[in-house]
Amino acid sequence: MIATPLILALVPTLGNPGALPSPTEAMVSERTAGDLLAIRAARVELGNGETLKNAVILIEDGKIVTIGEDLPIERGIPVLELKENQVVMPGLVNAYSRVGMDSRGQSSARPWVKASDELYPPSLDYGRVLEAGVTTLGQYPAGTGIPGRAVVVRPKGATAEEMLLADPAYLKIIMASSSTAKGYISGGFKKADQWLEKEKKNKAKWEKAKEKYDKKKKEWDKEKDDEKKEKDREKVEKLDPGPYKPIDPDPKAQSFLELREGTLKALISIRSAGDYLHLLDAIGEEEFSWDLRVVMTRSMDIYNVKEQIGEAGLRVVMEPEISLHPGTMRQRNLSAELARAGAKLVLVPRSDSITSQKAWLRHVGEMVAAGLDYQTAIRAVTLEPAELLGVGDQVGSLEVGKAANLLILSGDPFEVGTEVEVVMLDGQFVHGEVDL
């Protein structure tokens, strides 16, 4: 299919997305096409809660440079004209995955472990999930207790460095209704306090030595007897404590210090309402950024604390599954219940299998059919997980300045039978066939 060239309302600063006007501003002079590509679609889901009709997406150098409804297209720019039934949406963001990884991990607190150290770019699974429409992965280290730090990757690249988007993404913590699990959290902050106390004493010792040195140095500087001054030089120099050197923190303490400082956030996994209450008790008065991973089971009672979770404004990472009210056959859509309570929903595939990745949107569609708000569901597989991973300014929605990671679907994202026909990653088609 060859698109008929039209005229596009562009701007003279396409290389500077921050300077772009809104898509509705007046037409300006033509410019050369360069590496531009325009995609015209009858329907575009932006991922941020909005839907565009009869939209044009303009892409340059792997970024979205403008997007809007009913835009004309400048002569000379290649145009991908989509069919009426095709829908465009952001690439899927799986915030909780171990695709391409095979280590077993340990049952202990090892917050210094980095998932980025076990990335294996040659894994064929990365290409397979990319074909399923997953353009961003949050990958966590294996284990229980505190397994370590997750990493954010694009599922394509010859080296780990090429794949890497952010490191760390979050500190993974497994919570249970036990003193051991609570101790992992409270004990981590206790180690942080112990380091701070040691550091306080270390600095006080240095300051005392520095004060003594400064005093002797001042006296030595005033000495007028050159012979005596030279004689005392070495003695004075030995008193110099040098620049201050903090003591190295315990590896366990370091992560909890970063949590307090806000340079690291936590994703804490629970399986029941009781786990959540134990978690609050373990956190106590500590203040740090954290979200919840709720492990879905067929019969669970997390609904008992949904209002508390909602009031806290937490993100909740969970599989798109219908559960049963304990002891009954009554079905519950916990994703919809938590969203209505005020939680920020992040939906992930039911497993790391390629089959589950391909069925991800269909499973989310089942939640929509059972009462989950449509735009909440779109956001739950795109922008919300991107925000959780700390890369929401780069991916997760189709907005000016963000990476051109997008999917072209054969129909509505949540309809049975809809397929991912084309995948674009950073402005490059990596799956499917297109005719320009």
Residue 63 has pLDDT above 60, yes or no: yes
Joined tokens for residue 307:
């209002």
Give me the mean pLDDT over the 137-150 stretch: 96
* Position 106 confidence tier, pLDDT thresholds 50, 70, 90: confident
**Predicted local distance difference test score (pLDDT) of residue 4:** 32
Tokens describing residue 256? 């909890």
pLDDT at res. 108: 86
Cβ pair 306, 335 in contact under 8 A: no
User: Which value, to the nearest 10 degrees, does the dihedral of the CA atoms of residues 310, 314, 315, 320 take?
Assistant: -30
* The pLDDT value given to residue 55: 97
Q: For 4-13, 177-186, 223-232, 280-289, which range has the lowest pLDDT when averaged over its residues?
A: 4-13
Alpha-carbon dihedral sign for residues 368, 302, 186, 146: negative
Half-sphere exposure of 133 (CA within 13 A, CB side): 29
Q: What pLDDT, on a 0 to 100 scale, did the predictor assign at position 319? A: 97
d(CA 40, CA 54): 7
CATH number of 92-182+251-395: 3.20.20.140
Residue 250 confidence class, pLDDT cut points 50, 70, 90 = confident
* Confidence check: pLDDT of 14 > 50: no
Going by CATH, does the domain composed of 1-90+397-436 fall within 3.30.2320.50?
no
For residue 35, the tally of other CB atoms under 10 A from its CB is 11
> Which of 362-384 are b and which e, b meaning 16 or more Cβ less than 10 Å from the residue's Cβ?
ebbbbbbeeebbebbbbbbbbbb
> Model confidence at 35, in pLDDT bands (50, 70, 90)?
confident
CA distances from 5 to 44, 79, 303, 358 (A): 21, 8, 55, 36
pLDDT band at 255, cuts 50/70/90? very high
Per-residue pLDDT at 1 exceeds 80: no
Domain borders along the chain are: 1-90+397-436, 92-182+251-395, 183-238
What is the DSSP secondary structure assignment for residue 403, as one 8-state letter?
B
Instruction: Report the DSSP beta bridge partners of residue 107.
Output: 144
Average pLDDT, the chain: 90
pLDDT tens per residue across span 192-239: 999 999 999 999 999 999 999 999 889 888 888 888 888 888 888 999
342-369 pLDDT, tens digit per residue, is: 999 999 999 999 999 999 999 999 999 9
pLDDT tens, position by position, 148-179: 999 999 999 999 999 999 999 999 999 988 88
* pTM value surpassing 0.85: yes
Residue 30 has pLDDT above 50, yes or no: no
Q: Nearest-CA neighbor of 372 among 327, 421, 410, 319?
A: 319
Specify the pLDDT at position 2. Answer: 33
Alpha helical stretches, state H, 20-155: 124-131
Between the alpha carbon of residue 391 and those of residues 139, 166, 170, 379, the distances in Å are: 14, 7, 12, 14
Task: Identify the sign of the CA torsion 75, 79, 82, 87.
Answer: negative
pLDDT the model gives residue 226: 83
Give the least confident one: 46-60, 123-137, 215-229: 215-229
Res 434: pLDDT: 85
